[in-house]
Amino acid sequence: MSFINGIEALIAGAAAAAAVVALYFLKLKRREMVISSTLLWKRSLDDLAVNSPFQRLRASVLLFLQLFVLIAAALALARPTMTQQGGAGGDIILLLDVSSSMNTSEGSVTRLDLAMKAAEGIVQRMGRDNSMMILTFAGQCSVQKSFTSSKSDLRRAIRAVAAGEGPTNLEDALSLAISMGRSRGTASDSNARQSIVVISDGGFPDPARLKVEGHITSTGIRIFTDDKRAFDIPLRFVSVGRTARNAGITHLDVRKVPGEGAQIFINAENFSTDPIETSLTLRNLGPDATSDDLVSAVSLSLGAAGTDTARTGRLFDVPELADTIIEFSLDIDDDLPADNRAWVPLRTPRPPSVLLVTPGNLFIEKALRPGSTDQYPFQITAPADYPPPQQFDVVVFDRWAPESLPAGNYLFIGSDPPIDGVVPKGDVSPVLIDWDHTHALSRFVDFSGIQIVRARSYELPPYASVIVEGDACPLAFAISETDMHAACVTFPLFDSENRLNTTWPYRVSFPVFFANAINWLNPDARGTAKALTQIGEPINFALPPDADSAGITDPRGRKHTVAADADRRIVFNSTHLPGPYRVKVEGKDDTWFGANLLSAAESNITPRASFDWRGSEISGTDASMETTRELWKYLVVLALAGLVGEWYVYHRKGR
């Protein structure tokens, strides 16, 4: 047994008990009366002769009854709690994981079936003073059932939970649960009356990175109300699942260049304790996803989980195809089929028009000038002649940039980008340290060995991505926003006296970087990258001026009509199914989006028994976990019974 307000109740109870006992030490005040003789009143006269207001404490039934009432009232004020087996007490906020990993087979049932059974067990053990709210979460969090104490309604809500797909977004689910618990606790002015129960297999990203309100303890979350009052919300984790045999596709990247087809890099990883032999096949489904033409197949040997060979990557060269859909599949029968396939809609990008604004730079001109495979309009102009009368898809600024720029696609070489949040700080002498090997700008680029005399340091906005890192400043960075895409190299090729400022132009990486930059900045080539989305993430694209809605067909053939928002954009959130999504806009060719799992956290289906959260271990328990019940109501009843008894004894003595 423990007490919520133990110290406060102890002080108040001790003070009240001392006051009651002190009253029994005081002598009664006697009335003066005229009598005929004092012979019969000798003992009373002797008592009056003692000049003291106090008397010896005598046994009294009333005193014991009054102390009993005070002790019961003080204990009720202390709010004692008793630990017991069963569902959580008070208001229960139940978080039910419906992500992809919960579809893992556990014999004849899935993990979601086990989670629903555990949830029903908690409902069954609810008391009369309990109420429950049910939230389901995967990529997004939704309310399955609002607060209610009806067990039948809660059971129906649990049985209506549908299997979802996509990664586990525990952060949004916990944030919503904490917000609901905080509002319920503040409204009822109660403490330790709300609790959060998470039922999951633990297939979520590193909990240490979760950003939610409150201070994390080993038992839950402590938050503070607006008046600085501490408020504890216990957190319980119910772990489900046992099997862990799975391998899946965890990463996919596409590089498509006009005239060269596409290069697709794909990662596969084994999360099982045993090695796996499988094959990875690539099929062309055609522009309507109705064909099944085998393009390529490779054998894969994946080592056991945790070994260096557990993960492997493959690069596929896809020949020049018209708009089509490519499907990758792992030929394996494991416990989680959702990550064994991935879809890539390929679109033929239109060659971009490129403008170079420079006072003169043969290195950049040669790197940008179209070759036999890169056929795109290319023009050179001096800074004094900028802007030109026509529009260009990509503009390259060499050692000069205007004071402001409209939305567009820009490459800056040794010039200050006029972009909000990018603030020049001064020139430095840097040493190249490392670069981002995964970014599209640095694909197949080796920056090692490059020497730089001077570079400019910048204060960058938080949404900027550093591509090449120096010891004193970033040497290249990229910014990708809705209407602005820019890459910036922070050092010029020549100094103010036209002397070489770097050895980079003599490296093979120099023309490769410019080819990557033009392809990355090409607004039409970005269509392929934008056509890839993760399960649970919305499909988002702009409509042409003459359209106000779009029709979307999901992988099961169900059709949805989505109206444009105020910015004339389509936002489609129902991407919980893996596969290709067809988008039809009246008067335009059909386009496709591919929704894939591509999550190592979800593919790693090994259940977690507990997880470490900001240094506190949240242990996994079963559905019959230990919870607390408050006893103050029973103590109030005892105090009232004591008052009734005291009243009865007092009036009986008075007769």
Residue 599 reports pLDDT greater than 90: no
pLDDT of residue 445: 92
Determine the Cα–Cα distance for residues 438 and 435; give it in Å rounded to an integer: 9
Which residue's structure tokens are 């980008």?
Answer: 417
Q: Give the residue among 536, 608, 521, 551 at the shortest CA–CA distance from 111.
A: 608
pLDDT of residue 216: 64
Which residues contact residue 475 at a Cβ distance below 8 angstroms, ignoring those fewer than 6 apart?
A: 430, 432, 452, 455, 467, 468, 469, 489, 490, 491
Upper half-sphere CA count for residue 395 (Cβ side, 13 Å) = 25
Phi, psi values for residue 285, rounded to 5°: -90, -5
pLDDT of residue 307: 92
The b-or-e profile of 187-225 (16+ CB within 10 A means b, else e) is eeebbbbbbbbbbbbbbbbebeebebebebbeebbebee
Residue 160: C-alpha distances to residues 112, 113, 136 (Å): 12, 11, 11
pLDDT of residue 57: 63
| Residue-wise pLDDT tens digits, 620-631 | 555 444 555 677
C-beta of residue 493 within 8 angstroms of C-beta of residue 453? no
0.85 exceeded by pTM: no
Tell me which DSSP letter residue 99 carries.
S
Q: Give the residue among 650, 641, 640 at the shortest CA–CA distance from 60.
A: 650
Which residues contact residue 430 at a Cβ distance below 8 angstroms, ignoring those fewer than 6 apart?
A: 452, 455, 470, 471, 472, 473, 475, 491
Instruction: Locate 543 and state its tokens.
Output: 């409509």
195 vs 364 pLDDT, higher one: 364
Q: How confident is the model at residue 58 (pLDDT cuts 50, 70, 90)?
A: low
Instruction: Locate 245 and state its tokens.
Output: 């045999």
Determine the Cα–Cα distance for residues 374 and 372; give it in Å rounded to an integer: 6
- In the structure, how many helices (H) and strands (E) does the chain have? 11, 38
Q: Give the residue among 458, 515, 524 at the shortest CA–CA distance from 490.
A: 458
Domains 87-242+607-624 and 354-523 share a fold: yes
Element (H, E) at 263: strand 261-270
- Domain 527-596 is in which class? mainly beta
Residue 192 reports pLDDT greater than 50: no
Which residue's structure tokens are 């204060």?
Answer: 459
Region of poorest pLDDT, from 354-358, 401-405, 541-545: 541-545
| Residue-wise pLDDT tens digits, 126-162 | 877 788 999 999 878 889 999 999 999 999 999 999 8
Q: Give the residue among 139, 140, 92 at the shortest CA–CA distance from 238.
A: 92
Determine the Cα–Cα distance for residues 31 and 194; give it in Å rounded to an integer: 59
Instruction: Locate 172 and state its tokens.
Output: 């949004």
C-beta of residue 113 within 8 angstroms of C-beta of residue 162? no
Region of poorest pLDDT, from 223-232, 318-327, 362-371: 223-232
pLDDT of residue 89: 52
Q: Give the residue among 455, 468, 464, 471 at the shortest CA–CA distance from 416.
A: 455
* Burial class (CB within 10 angstroms; exposed 0-12, middle 13-18, buried 19+) of 59: exposed
C-beta of residue 373 within 8 angstroms of C-beta of residue 553? no
Write the single-letter amino acid at 61: V
pLDDT of residue 623: 47
Residue 381 reports pLDDT greater than 70: yes
- Supply angle C-alpha 465, 565, 545, rounded to 5: 90
> In terms of DSSP H, where are the helices of 125-194?
151-159, 170-188
Which one of 3.40.50.410, 1.10.3720.10, 3.40.50.10480, 3.40.50.2000 gives the CATH number of domain 87-242+607-624? Answer: 3.40.50.410
Q: What is the largest CA-CA distance in the chain?
A: 141
Q: Give the residue among 209, 212, 236, 211 at the shortest CA–CA distance from 223.
A: 212
Bridge partners, 301 (sequence order): 277
Which residue's structure tokens are 């002015």?
Answer: 189
Determine the Cα–Cα distance for residues 323 and 318; give it in Å rounded to an integer: 12
Residue 422 reports pLDDT greater than 90: yes
The b-or-e profile of 18-54 (16+ CB within 10 A means b, else e) is eeeeeeeeeeeeeeeeeeeeeeeeeeeeeeeeeeeee
629-643 mean pLDDT: 81
Region of poorest pLDDT, from 82-86, 422-426, 643-647: 82-86
Instruction: Locate 175 and state its tokens.
Output: 């944030």
Residue 300: C-alpha distances to residues 60, 276, 305, 342 (Å): 90, 8, 15, 16
- Supply angle C-alpha 197, 201, 202, rounded to 5: 80
Task: Name the most confidently modeled range: 235-244, 250-259, 281-290.
Answer: 281-290
Residue 612 reports pLDDT greater than 90: no
Task: Name the most confidently modeled range: 88-92, 164-168, 373-377.
Answer: 164-168
| Residue-wise pLDDT tens digits, 434-470 | 999 888 899 889 999 999 999 999 999 988 999 999 9
292-314 mean pLDDT: 92
pLDDT of residue 630: 72
Q: Give the residue among 257, 261, 282 at the shortest CA–CA distance from 343.
A: 282
Q: Give the residue among 597, 602, 568, 573 at the shortest CA–CA distance from 585.
A: 568
Q: How confident is the model at residue 414 (pLDDT cuts 50, 70, 90)?
A: very high
Residue 429 reports pLDDT greater than 50: yes
Q: Give the residue among 566, 560, 530 at the shortest CA–CA distance from 548.
A: 566
Write the single-letter amino acid at 315: L
Determine the Cα–Cα distance for residues 255 and 423; give it in Å rounded to an integer: 32
Nearest 10 degrees: Cα torsion 257, 374, 477, 414: 180
pLDDT of residue 1: 66
Peptide bond into 387 cis (omega under 30): yes
Q: How confident is the model at residue 632 (pLDDT cuts 50, 70, 90)?
A: confident
Determine the Cα–Cα distance for residues 489 and 172; give it in Å rounded to an integer: 37
The percent of residues in the chain predicted with pLDDT above 70, rounded, is 81
C-beta of residue 62 within 8 angstroms of C-beta of residue 649? yes
Region of poorest pLDDT, from 291-300, 314-323, 636-645: 314-323
- Arithmetic mean of pLDDT over the chain: 83
Q: How confident is the model at residue 320 (pLDDT cuts 50, 70, 90)?
A: low
pLDDT of residue 25: 64
C-beta of residue 150 within 8 angstroms of C-beta of residue 131? no
pLDDT of residue 494: 95
Which residue's structure tokens are 């020549």?
Answer: 494
User: What does the domain layout of the chain look like in residue ranges?
Assistant: 2-82+634-653, 87-242+607-624, 270-348, 354-523, 527-596
283 vs 52 pLDDT, higher one: 283
Q: Which architecture, in CATH terms, is 354-523?
A: 3-Layer(aba) Sandwich (3.40)
Bridge partners, 587 (sequence order): none
pLDDT of residue 651: 75
Which residues contact residue 523 at a Cβ distance below 8 angstroms, ignoring those fewer than 6 apart?
A: 352, 393, 409, 485
C-beta of residue 280 within 8 angstroms of C-beta of residue 268? yes
- Supply angle C-alpha 416, 420, 423, rounded to 5: 45
Q: How confident is the model at residue 76 (pLDDT cuts 50, 70, 90)?
A: confident
Q: Give the residue among 202, 162, 209 at the shortest CA–CA distance from 605.
A: 202
Write the single-letter amino acid at 558: R
| Residue-wise pLDDT tens digits, 251-265 | 988 876 655 677 888
* β-strand pairing of 311-318 with 261-270: antiparallel
pLDDT of residue 27: 57
What sign does the CA torsion over 456, 457, 458, 463 have? positive
Determine the Cα–Cα distance for residues 185 and 225; give it in Å rounded to an integer: 9
